[in-house]
A = this chain, B = another copy of it.
């Protein structure tokens, strides 16, 4: 029995968005560079970037210097936006209405949602509300705090190489 897991794609997409937020204005990064930055498989990263683009979180820029950039300011991209882009809009709890089966089933159709489903959906609302409070700007601020001169130098050197 294994715990339900959020796909690794959510983590990758969030890190990719933080990286895009660090770029100088007018600059885009392609999926290959975004994958290289965290040593991730390029095909999967490409798939997740396409999902972020479809959800309107990033914009795809065409051309020789093409790639992705954030579609809006980092303070306006929440962790919930990223989660929804990668995992879909949910809900995670899907009610099969099994109370309508069997020897004691209600013969009425319609009616109030099952209390069990309502309990799980309320929990999902709490989850989403909390995820909405953290933006890519918060992630970047935290990254910046942990960035010493050595890492900043390596970041600049890497950027010079891939751009």
> Contact residues of A with B, CB < 8 Å?
1-8, 10-12, 14-15, 18, 36-40, 51, 79, 83, 86-96, 98-99, 101-107, 111-112, 115-117, 119-120, 122-131, 134, 138-139, 142-143, 146, 150-151, 154-155, 157-158
Contacts and interface: CB of A to CB of B under 8 A. Distances in A.
Contacts of A96: 8, 11
Contacts of A86: 1
Contacts of A123: 79, 127-128, 130-131
A37 B101 CA distance: 7
Please indicate which of the listed interface residues A112, A126, A139, A154 has the most CB atoms of chain B within 10 Å of its own CB.
A126
A14 B88 contact: no
B6 A4 contact: yes
Contacts of A90: 3-4
A119 B79 contact: yes
Please indicate which of the listed interface residues A12, A125, A127, A158 has the most CB atoms of chain B within 10 Å of its own CB.
A127
A134 B114 CA distance: 13
A93 to B, nearest CB: 5
B92 A6 contact: yes
A101 B87 CA distance: 24
Contacts of A103: 36-37, 154-155, 157-158
Contacts of A36: 102-103
